[in-house]
Each structure stands twice: as C-alpha cells, then as structure tokens.
Structure 1
C-alpha cells in the first residue's frame, strides 16, 4: 500500500498544509485518520533527496555575501579576464597600479611605512614577514597585495591617509579575487595582515566581518593546498611555484617554503580566535600537519620568531579546548555542568596549560607575548566559576577557588600588559586589544561576585590594584587616540575603547568609595549597591554575574560598542557618560 511504502514520520499533503499531525487510520491504513474522516484523497508528497552541502560549498556561500559590496568598491569597469589566473600574472604586468603610482604616497613615505610594518610584524604577528632584502620596489613587483596591506595597517597615525589607502586596497583585492579569480600566497598574506590589525580599519569597512575575512583566508589556503604536504609530481610543483609557493630546500621536500608555513600558522591562529570571539565553528580546524610545520620552522629557523610559532599554536589549541568543553559539550548536555564536573574540567585544562608552560625553552621563559597569551588561556579556563551564579544565590564552595584562580590569571595578565612599553602597545594586533578588553570585563564580573560575598580589606585592596592598572590603560589609550590624527566627528576604535575604560573606571571608583564607607561603619551596609545591582556609572554588562545567559562566555562581545561585535566598525558611541 502507498502509505506503507513511505516513512511513518512523513505527513500527507493535506496535513502538511495545515501543519497538523498525520496519523494512519485504522480503517484504511493507506489513508490518514483526518483524510479518512473528511473523505479527502490522502497523498504523500514525493520525497526529494537532499544533498548535504560540502564544507567548501558552505564556505563559498558565506563568501558570496561579500561579493556585491566588494565589487562596489571597484574604481571602474575591469577588463576581461580569464576565469582563473595565477598570481604571477599580476606580477608579470609591466603597468604597476598601486598607491605610489596613483599618487597616494611618495616613495620616501612608503619606505617609512614598510620599515614600521617590519617592526610591527616582528613584535606582534611574526606569521607574515617581509622577505629579507626586499624593498619597496621588490614589494611592488613581487608582493603587490601584501605591500598595500602593509601600507594600510602601518599608516594608523594618519587616519585620512589610511582611509584612502584602505579604499584602494579593497578595490584591488576584490578585482583580483572575485573578477580575475586570482589565488596566490601574496593575496593570502595581504588579507591576513589586514585581518590581524583589523581594529585599525576605518569606518568605511564596517560591512566586513572579521570571521568572514578569516573564512576567506581559510578557503584560499585550502585552494592553494598549503594545508597539506606539497605534491611530489613535477607538474604540480611547477604550478604551485607560479603561485609563489615554492618548496622548501631539497633536503626537506615535506614542507612548503618558510613563508608558506608561517602563513599556514597565521591563518590557523586568526581563524581560531575570530571563531571563538563570534561563537562560531572554526573555518580552519587544527591538524597535526600545521604543528609539524611549526616544529620544522623551529628546527630550521630563518628568523628568531620562527622558534616561537610552535608554542603559539599549542596555546591557541588549549583555548580551543576550553571553548569546546565549556560551550559545545555543555550545550549538548541535558542539564548544565555541575560544580564537580566543572572542577574536573578546570583541573584537566589547568594541567594542559602547566605542561605548555613547562615545555617553553629557556630562551622563551621571559617572552612577554607568549606568557600574556598563557595568562589569557588560564583566565578563560577558569571563567566557568561564574557560570550559574545568580545575584541573590550564594556562591558554591567549589566555584569560589575557581574564581580566585581566574582573578589571579587576570591580575598576572594586567601586570604584564601594563609593563609593556607604550611604543610596543601602539602596534598591538586586534586580538591583543581584545584580550585586554576581555580580561578587564572578566575582572569586573569576578570582583562583583566575590565582593558580594566578602568585603574585607584584602578584597578592597584587590579592586584598588585593578583600578590602578585601568588608569594606566586609560592614559595610554588616550595618548594613542591623540596620535591617530582622526578628524572631528569620525569614529575610531581607540575613541570607543576610551568610553569603555571610563565607564569601568567610574564603576571601580564607586565600588572603592562604597567599600571605604563599609569599613568605616564597621559592619555590613544593608543597601550595598554592589549586591543589589543599583550601582550607577558602571557598564551595563556588569549587571549580570552569569556569563552564559549574557552570551558573554569567553573571548566574546561584551558591549555593543566593542570591536569584535563585528557588525560594524563605525564604533557607535558608548552609552556610558565620560
């Protein structure tokens, strides 16, 4: 019978149209109960097999959303191009079209910006380095896209010029990628540099999302094949050489060039961090091959920073593990993670982090950036202590030590961050600034939770130390914003960040004043605004102590004005008054 041949879970056309449950009739099994009662013909629509979209198709569907807006940035009609051109075609052209030939920059200014980028990359993002001996002329011919991205991020002290350079860069990028179909290491490196210092990008690029840019990088690196061992066939090797992906030395044919391996690691780091910040699956998951590449760079290093990349991969992998345990696995549970389960998970992650620190060689024992990332991973792993704590409910004995450990990691991070010279902080990457925002907000939430239960002098002293660190950060951010030469009325990331810092500082000042009154009174203040939640001047994000219901777990958006909301880089002004 017809109905016996179809799945029992499928509804007939009549029930489906009315969104009713379709049950077979006992009198006529081939007809549903409702159709039998009303004398209606019962027909089951033909099932159309669905094809599961591949990961590549899903990724491409996401990227297609960017095409329209990118093409709008094209300076004019583009000449006809073949459906796929290799990256060498642009370099072989005699007519160089870049910011220098367009009159946006002078040669001397370009040389200054290139020198500044070299310093920025060596200190903060050693995954895209300029080859030794390659100057402006060489970059124009051999690395035109990377050259433009370098100019954009290095011109952060001249906002009007940065606007012009970024507009030129995005127009050229869209023409190469979407119109000409270019795929090259140069294109990938340029996009990765643009993503790493994403917070420097101006308001006109607000429609571009960091996660989508990371997905674009992941797609391109798969297209180029850098995520796996080089092909052994001669014709394949030749094709990849045309894309700027020459093999390593003849003694080690298992890996691509040093540049390609660094780029692979950079894509993994940036895509992982962007996906965690946006609570999305990573477009480029970890593989053992990328760690092998990092080990090969450490053993056969060209520059000193090559020795550090392995340990950056490992600490980012721990951060990914935290996200997987406390977000993905916990979301799949029938009940929220209990205190005992949380404690066991924290101990396991703590052991991973301790093993990572112990594996650092002696020459990296004082590497500031590695240790700040380690502090971040520690704070991230212990944030679970805030989960499930309601404002009126008591803090469980299990979660109190977890929160104190979390605060210890935050304090260590703040101490390292404030000890960095202002010159080094000027060229932090977007993620470095995001770390600072996250740890500050986390410290605020933990202070509220702990101090709601205890308000002794040690607690007050801890808040005072954090308040002092925040003063240093606020002063430096003010100085940095003054250096950007931003015209009045034009938004900037540092300007928005200042509003956040001022709001948090006002909250800390109010807490300290309340604590002083508490100690002077010699007892518990009944109307403690920290407990009651009536404290004015603080950011709205502090009005809840439970991270998950606020959707603020981990390296996630804290306020609507924050950078990694990624809906816009126009940076709306904070609601907190200065």
Structure 2
C-alpha cells in the first residue's frame, strides 16, 4: 500500500521530469528556428529581439493592447503621485514582504518603462485606499497577464515580479481566493521554473540575457554570478518557494516548489553579501517555511489516517522534536526591531501550528488523555502569545500587512479559540476558564474593531463611491473577517456558558482554594491537574471540526461558501 510520502515523492519526480521535458522542447524549437552558432547551450533572444517578437506575436494572435500607459499621467494616476506610491511600497515591502526591492534611485518613469508589469502591481497594492484607481489598474493588469502569459507565452522577470507583488497583498481585491490564489501561485511558480532561476545558471552570462541585466536595477557581483542568479532573480526564486509552501499549508496540497538545498543556498548568499538590509533576513524566512513544510509532512494535517497511525505518546515525541528545531531557529534570530518583528511573531504562530496536531483525532464524548491535553494547552498558549504580540501593533502597522500576515493572524484566532473550547469542555470550568474567555473576548473585540477601521479607510478613500458596488463592499476581505471573528467570539462564549458547572457546584468551588491565574502574554501556566479540575466527557463540541480547513480561508473563499461555513460546521 502506497503511503502519502511515497505518492508525493513520485509526484515530485514526475514534476521534475516534466520541467526537464519542457526545457528540452524549448531548446529544440530554438535550434530549429535558428541554428546555434558554436555553443550547444540554449541562448535566449536579447531584450530588443524579445520585444519585437512580443509585438509581432500580439499582432498575429490578436492580443489586446494594454491600457496602463493611457492611465499614467491622467487625473486617475498623476505621474508625480506614482513616485509617492513607490515610496509607500518600499515601506510596505521592507517589513512585510521583502521579495521585490526597489532601489532608492528608482523613479516612477524609469520603472514604468523598464518594468511595466511590476509598476502596475505596485500601483495596485498601494492604491488600496483608492478603490476606483485600484479596480482600473487591476483590470489592466489581469488583461496584460492573460495576454502576455497565455497568448504570447511570455516569460520574463518583469512579469514574475509583478505576480509576486500582486499576490502579496491580494486580500485587498481578491474574493474567490480558494481558486484564484492557488492559480496565481501555480502561474508564478511555473514561470520561475521555466525562467530557470530555480536551478544554478548554466553560464556566467545566462542571467544577463534572460533577465535583462542592462536595466536600471543593480545586478549580482562577479564573484557569485557563476553560482547564483542576480539579486532580483534570487529574491524572486525565494518568493516563489515561500508562496508555494504557503499555499501548500493553506490548501493542504502538495507543494509546487518544495524546499531544496539550492533555495537555502540562495538565501544564504544574500545574507552573506546583502544588497539591502532585508536580504539578510530571507534565510530566516526560508528556514521557517522549511520547518512548517516538515510539520505538514510529519503529521499530514487534515489526514485522519495519519492521525490514527500515531498514539498520543508518539505525537508528543514528534512535537518535542519539532519544537526543539523551532527553538534552535529562534535562537539564531537577530534582536527584535521594526524590520524583523514578523519573524519573531512567526515563532509563536509556528509553535501553535506544531501543536495543532493535538486538536485532531478526538472523538466526541471521549475524554482526551493528559498527554493530549498538554499538547492542546501548548497550542492555546502559543497562539495566545501570538495574538498578544499582534495587539501591541498599531493600526498603521496592520494596514501595510500582506495576505500571509492576515492568514497567520486568522490561524492564531482559530487555533486559540478551538483549543480554548476543548479545554473548557474537558475540564469542569474554573477561574482559568473564565479568564481565558474574558481575555479572548477582549482580544477579538480589538481585532474586529481594527479590521472594521481598515475596511472603512478602504471604502471611504478617494474614488470609493465611484466604483464600489454593494456586493464588493459586502465581500471585502476586511469586513468579512471582522464579521467572522465576531461570530467566533459569540460561539466561544456560548460554549463557555454551556460548560459552566451548576450554581451549587460553583458555590462549592468558591469555598475551595484555587490557584490565581493571570492571562499575561508570557505566562507559563500548565493545564490543571485531575485533583484541581474534574475531567468531563465532552459531548457538545464537534471535535471533528478542522479550524484550519473550515474557517481559515473563509475570508478569501467564495462569497456564498464562506457565508455558510460557520453555520454549517460550528452550529450555534
């Protein structure tokens, strides 16, 4: 019988073979079209040749002409405002998404000329307070992607970087992310593979021809050009890998671009010889995603068959091994500051994700073991610390978050809520249960308020009334996530009240000494012992609910599906 790892291994081999076949086909086509002079290596056409070929292909295939040049310089997008948007993008990307970096010397005019697709994507994500402009630019961008990628079969660093930026903040404008998000990730990963940047360069000058080193963007130095691609290409490769892993974890699917030694080598080379401060942090991104991928492979989250193979003692042993690796990763992090706060918050979220395995395989009405309860408690504690750190951020900080930051926050909310409900339904109430409920309610109130404020900023910005329909306003990510968190709060309070002991039992409990518990971000309290709290057989909570699958993607899922997710799985 084939195991999941065996099947995935075979899929990896098939995808690798498929990529090699595509590369050979491209080489054969070029060889037949124009015989190579003396070298047998594939030499892509120069940039002017590619542009002329692209224009000719568009004419022959009936490709539509981009409306982006017609928008730039108009009242909708004044050229002087473009430079302000680029400055805003530098600030957003430096902290939250450092995969496409613009040098300080880069100006709007040169960016639009050299990288039109990247320019469009940057203006889209930085126009989140101007929905009219964002909608117009987004329509132009998607039309150009379809024309270039599908009709012309164009593969360029400009197009790849544009997709990376567009994906990074897609929560501002993407509703059906369950399909669109994975499709975007598939396209940009495919493009990265076909550009060849997922492997070492074949020649020293290959990246010059393929990635247009004559542009305004600085390139790699002489010492590393034979082993690695340019700075931009390495960042793009790392971004494609991280986005692929992110979608793998979110959709419980096979990673399109799994972790390899080469992606780690690329990140290490950027840390050794950084072009900008954020380059030194990419190695931590890569290692964090590698550990998350290992957790997914170890427990195969969402697979009931895998959970049934492991008893609680084996699960606890695996959890300890993974936590040890996570602690080793944290020990290498630089001291917290304004640019690496995301990585320090990721530690708590990763710790909660490792302990998420304790939430699965529970049978309704069955009392979990003490070992399982300790795992669930650690899941609650880690997710609570993550939420506590996020509450210390300002509204301006969260306004520049990327889609992965919001997904991480939503995961922490769901894991914290579900683990708290299981703990409350397993133990006979108590002081700690009440404090958990009170703290989580205040936390969710604050997060809902911030999401609604950001939604109001997006809807009341320039041009909002001209382009925002009632349907768009209703399905806006920030509004929907605030409504969902409000429902989560109500459901959690309902479960807490349901599990409260009768008045007589409460009176008896008040006469007995109880340990004082303070819900502090750094608290290290342990689950109550059997002598302190009476174990109950839980019958009300639907233990088979998968907080990750059922609710995690609700804000980016189809509108109708997301609106019914909560009521169909967590019935009130």
Query: TM-score, normalization: structure 1?
Result: 0.75
Aligned to 1:492: 476
Distance in 1 between residues matched to 2:46 and 2:503, nearest whole Å: 71
Question: CA 1:180/1:344 → structure 2, altered by over 3 Å: closer, same or farther?
Answer: same
Question: Could you tell me whether the CA contact under 8 Å between 2:364 and 2:542 is conserved in 1?
Answer: yes
What SS does structure 2 have at the residue aligned with 1:108?
A: helix
Q: Mark the CA change 1:260 to 1:53 in structure 2 (over 3 Å): closer, same or farther.
A: closer
- Determine the C-alpha separation between the residues in 1 that align with 2:388 and 2:307: 40
What is the aligned length?
Answer: 485
Range with bigger deviation, 145-154 or 89-98: 89-98
Q: 79, 88, 109: which is aligned to 1:137?
A: 109
- Structure 2 Cα separation of the partners of residues 176 and 294 of structure 1: 29
* Distance in 2 separating the partners of 1:158 and 1:461: 41
Tell me the distance in 1 between the aligned counterparts of 2:89 and 2:70: 17
Q: Provide the alpha-carbon RMSD of the alignment.
A: 3.6
Gaps of 5+ in 1: 1-51, 61-83, 534-542
Which residue does 1:478 correspond to in 2? 452
**Matching of residues 178-577 of structure 1 within 5 Å:** 178-203=150-175, 209-232=180-203, 234=205, 236-242=206-212, 248-253=220-225, 254-327=227-300, 335-362=308-335, 367-454=340-427, 455-485=429-459, 487=468, 488-490=470-472, 491-511=475-495, 522=506, 531-533=538-540, 543-546=541-544, 550=545, 552=546, 555-558=548-551, 561-563=554-556, 565=557, 567=558, 572=563
CA displacement 1:75-127 (0-9 Å, x = unmatched): xxxxxxxxx97766459999983631676422233233222212111120011
Higher helix share: 2
Would the aligned equivalents of 2:358 and 2:376 in 1 still touch at CA under 8 Å? yes
Provide the rounded CA distance (Å) in 2 between the counterparts of 1:472 and 1:461.
Answer: 17
CA distance in 2 between partners of 1:568 and 1:143 (Å): 34
- Cα deviation, residue 207, structure 1: 8.6
Q: Deviations over 1:267-303 (max 9, x none)?
A: 1111101121111101101111111111111121122
Q: Structure 1's 293 and 57: CA in aligned 2 closer, same or farther, altered over 3 A?
A: closer
Deviates more, 1:328-337 or 1:467-476: 328-337
Pick from 101, 110, 135: which aligns with 2:82?
110
Contact kept in structure 1, 2:336 and 2:344, CA below 8 Å: no
**Shift, 1:570, TM fit:** 9.8
Instruction: Find the aligned partners of 2:101 and 2:346 in 1 and give their Cα distance.
Output: 21
Mean Cα deviation higher: 331-340 or 141-150: 331-340
Native 8 Å contact 1:298 1:306 kept in 2:
yes
Is the CA contact 2:299–2:357 (under 8 Å) kept in the aligned structure 1? yes
Q: List gaps (5 residues or longer) in structure 2.
A: 1-11, 21-43, 56-64, 510-535
Give the CA deviation at 1:152: 1.0
Report if aligned partners of 1:86, 1:184 keep a CA contact under 8 Å in 2: no
> Would the aligned equivalents of 2:437 and 2:492 in 1 still touch at CA under 8 Å?
yes
Instruction: Identify the structure with bigger relative contact order (alpha carbons < 8 Å, sequence gap 6+).
Output: 2
